Amino acid sequence: VQLQASGGGLVQAGGSLRLSCAVSGRTASSYALGWFRQAPGKEREFVASISKVGGTKYYADSVKGRFTISRDNAENTQYLQMNSLKPEDTAVYYCAADGTSSGRLRTGEGDYWGQGTLVTVSS
């Protein structure tokens, strides 16, 4: 399974970005999907995850109410809509897939990882 993230960039505080993650090699519906991020000098942290058919979603407390995870299994793609961005959201964002559950992704575990896309939020 290959994961290709895109959509990062530079945005002002309060702005929005939408990240995409294309899944290839296997059908996306076989996997729970999620997003993680790593800021400079910090460890990777969980952002959000979504179950195989999209019925269950988890969010980190730091992004609840601002970020929305979604998926389109017909397009083998997941998304992360990020609103009300803050400078502390600046990080490299990674997408991940897990064959077991979105709950497992929430613990930081995953079967497959994509390359990151950089999000920079200026103050």
pLDDT for position 72: 97
Cβ partners under 8 Å of residue 31, min gap 6: 1, 23, 52, 97, 98, 99, 111, 112
User: Phi and psi for 73 in degrees, rounded to 5?
Assistant: -65, -30
pLDDT for position 7: 98
pLDDT for position 20: 98
Question: Which stretch of DSSP H or E encloses residue 106?
Answer: helix 102-106
pLDDT along the chain (123 residues), means of 10: 97 98 93 97 97 96 98 97 98 96 93 96 96
